[in-house]
């Protein structure tokens, strides 16, 4: 079976406060804007016309005209979501010359990054990519994986986040702390959360962390 080598490097980026340019004002552009806003980005939309849904979004800047060179100054990345190949190619070229990450929707050869399908459960995000070969397969895998990851994993992640400073404050080095985390992740704690068995969950945590640990506020009363 022939395999196309995948050169993409998986990366989660903090976009809070960063200027992100979206070129295009249609439905596809709108779908790209929502997760950018959720990530805390400052979104600038450039298009002569935008749809009603984009009109209703708060916290974005709308520039009502065609894209021109210079529109990417100060941006961290750009997403081109237009049906005009000349515009898409110009955005890609400008981004490359400025060293700005660029995604042109559904045209991998013009992209310096691609947007993965994402499974999200609380603080957990699982990014899925086929390297641009088949977005449809990525979406299918997202549904399959999403069906396997229940809300108990989100709760476990929240618990692990709360106990992390407690573990790191204990005596011992990196390997000792890592061992505690590994023990908890591979214990019956996830089963206790799934069964909403608070008593068992607290027993497992105290056994791993020490009886002196105060679990108030660490294990939620409701999962």
Domain ranges of the chain: 19-115, 151-209
Find residue 43's DSSP bridge partners.
Answer: 20, 60
Residue 129 in contact with residue 135, Cβ under 8 Å?
A: no
Q: What is the mean pLDDT of each run of 10 residues along the chain (223 residues)?
A: 70 96 97 96 98 95 97 97 97 98 94 94 94 89 95 94 92 93 96 93 92 81 50
pLDDT at 3: 52
**pLDDT tens digit string along 102-120?**
999 999 899 999 999 999 9
CA distances from 175 to 97, 103, 178, 206 (A): 44, 40, 5, 19
Please report the sign of the dihedral spanned by the C-alpha atoms of residue 209, residue 210, residue 214, residue 219.
positive
Contact partners, residue 3, CB within 8 Å, separation at least 6 = none
> Per residue in 154-188, pLDDT tens?
999 999 999 999 999 988 999 999 999 999 999 99
Top CATH class of 19-115 equals alpha beta
Residue 127: strand, helix, or coil:
strand
Report whether 112 contacts 102 (CB < 8 A).
yes
4-14 confidence digits (pLDDT tens): 567 889 999 99
CA distance 200 to 109: 52
**For the chain, where are the alpha helices, taking DSSP H only?**
27-38, 52-56, 85-98, 135-148, 151-168, 174-185, 189-194, 198-209
pLDDT for res 223: 43
Helix 198-209 / helix 174-185 crossing angle, nearest 10 deg: 160
Rounded to two decimals, what is the model's pTM? 0.85
Token pair 């108030």: residue = 216
Which pair of structure tokens corresponds to residue 148? Answer: 């396997």
């Amino acid at each position: 079976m022939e395999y196309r080598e995948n050169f993409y490097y998986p990366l989660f980026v903090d976009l809070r406060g960063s200027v992100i340019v979206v070129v295009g004002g249609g439905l596809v552009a709108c779908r790209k804007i929502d997760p950018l806003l959720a990530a805390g980005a400052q979104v600038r939309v450039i298009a002569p016309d935008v749809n009603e849904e984009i009109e209703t979004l708060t916290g974005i800047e709308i520039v009502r005209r065609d894209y021109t060179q210079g529109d990417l100054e100060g941006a961290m990345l750009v997403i081109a979501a237009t049906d005009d190949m000349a515009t898409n190619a110009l955005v890609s070229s400008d981004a490359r010359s400025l060293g700005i990450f660029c995604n042109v929707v559904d045209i991998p050869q013009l992209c310096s990054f691609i947007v993965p399908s994402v499974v999200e459960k609380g603080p957990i995000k699982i990014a899925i990519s086929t390297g641009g070969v088949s977005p449809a397969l990525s979406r299918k895998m997202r549904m399959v994986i999403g069906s396997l990851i229940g809300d108990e994993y989100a709760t476990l992640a929240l618990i692990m986040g709360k106990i992390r400073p407690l573990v790191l404050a204990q005596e011992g080095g990196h390997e000792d702390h890592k061992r505690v985390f590994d023990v908890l992740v591979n214990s019956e704690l996830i089963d206790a959360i799934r069964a909403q068995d608070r008593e068992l969950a607290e027993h497992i945590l105290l056994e791993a962390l020490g009886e002196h640990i105060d679990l108030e506020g660490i294990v939620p009363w409701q999962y």
